[in-house]
């Protein structure tokens, strides 16, 4: 066990029902943003470190490590449950990596299905081999310290966007969307109509649609 006290504050996580997470799995992030009213995606600079490993859906487990430090990230490994997406806030620090392949391998071994940070990562060949979808703002070989303080389970801010443990994180090639736990049922209820509308418009475009119908009505 990591001896982090009193440098790491911890808060227990109230996770959503598995059925709620499953209802979002495989949903394009654009559909989720539409269901959320037009927002919900993290900053566009947070992209997959490995392009072909860009899809995941799981429950957010947050940690706030701060700049140039990953003690809280290491402490979060103990709190991970299968199906979690580990979300690490660094305050947007890019002077060194928040983590590399070894810690991501440990997270995978703990059951994590993804990793998201507003900082950088390192060891791309190893990250590719680990196979855990990893979203970050960049890559640098510089390494962090393990000093603290930090937190695990408490709400964080990632590039100006709030993320709470228990929210659902959905990632694809377009980016990362955060669905707040309190809005899961609302979003799930809106998705069928969004899927139908998207499918109908897709078919119309394939059939030769040149301008949207609403421009020619009224």
> What integer pLDDT is reported at residue 87 of this predicted model?
98
d(CA 123, CA 100) in angstroms, rounded, equals: 5
* Cross-strand partners of 168: 59, 179
> How confident is the model at residue 145, as a pLDDT?
93
Distance of CA 163 to CAs 64, 118, 169, 183, Å?
11, 12, 9, 13
* pLDDT, tens digit, 9 for 90 and up, residues 190-211: 999 999 999 999 898 998 988 8
Q: Checking phi first, is residue 111 left (phi over 0); if not, alpha (psi -120 to 50) or beta?
A: left
Angle at 118 between CA 191 and CA 142, to 5 degrees: 145
Q: Where are the chain's structural domains?
A: 17-208
pTM of the model: 0.93
| Mean pLDDT value across the chain | 95
> Does pLDDT of 177 surpass 90?
yes
End-to-end CA distance of the chain: 67
More confident: 151 or 5: 151
SS3 assignment for 44-74: CCCEECCCCCCCEEEEEEEEECCCCECHHHH
Determine what percent of the chain is predicted with pLDDT higher than 70: 97
Kindly state the average pLDDT of the residues 160-180: 97
What is the C-alpha to C-alpha distance for residues 194 and 121, in angstroms, rounded to an integer?
A: 35
Question: According to CATH, what is the number of the domain 17-208?
Answer: 3.50.30.40
Token couple for 162: 């709030």
Q: Place 212 in a pLDDT band, splitting at 50, 70 and 90.
A: confident
Q: What is residue 3's predicted lDDT score, i.e. its pLDDT?
A: 47
Whether 1 shows a pLDDT value over 50: the answer reads no
pLDDT in tens, 55-105: 999 999 999 999 999 999 999 999 999 999 999 999 999 999 999 999 999
Residues contacting 213, CB < 8 A, separation 6+: none
Report pLDDT digits (tens) over 113-149. Answer: 999 999 999 999 999 999 999 999 999 999 999 998 9
How many CB atoms are closer than 10 A to CB 56? 23
Q: Is residue 6 very low, low, confident or very high in pLDDT (cuts 50, 70, 90)?
A: low
Pairing of strands 134-136, 114-117: parallel
CB 151 within 8 A of CB 73: no
Average of per-residue pLDDT across 2-22: 85
């Amino acid at each position: 066990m990591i001896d982090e006290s009193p440098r790491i504050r911890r808060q227990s996580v109230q996770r959503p029902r598995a059925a709620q997470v499953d209802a979002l799995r495989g949903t394009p992030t654009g559909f989720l943003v539409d269901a959320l009213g037009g927002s919900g995606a993290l900053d566009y600079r947070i992209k997959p470190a490995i392009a072909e490993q860009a899809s995941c859906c799981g429950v957010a487990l947050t940690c706030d490590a701060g700049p140039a430090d990953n003690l809280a990230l290491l402490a979060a490994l103990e709190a991970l449950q299968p199906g979690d997406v580990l979300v690490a806030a660094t305050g947007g620090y890019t002077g060194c990596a928040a983590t590399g392949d070894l810690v991501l391998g440990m997270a995978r071994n703990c059951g994590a299905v993804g990793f998201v940070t507003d900082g950088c990562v390192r060891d791309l060949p190893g990250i590719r081999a680990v196979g855990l979808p990893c979203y970050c703002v960049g890559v640098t070989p510089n390494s962090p310290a393990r000093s603290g303080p930090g937190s695990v389970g408490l709400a964080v801010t990632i590039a100006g966007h709030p993320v709470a443990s228990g929210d659902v994180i959905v990632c694809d090639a377009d980016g990362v969307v955060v669905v707040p736990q309190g809005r899961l049922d609302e979003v799930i209820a809106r998705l069928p109509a969004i899927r139908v509308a998207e499918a109908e418009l897709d078919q119309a475009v394939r059939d030769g649609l040149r301008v949207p119908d609403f421009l020619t009505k009224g």
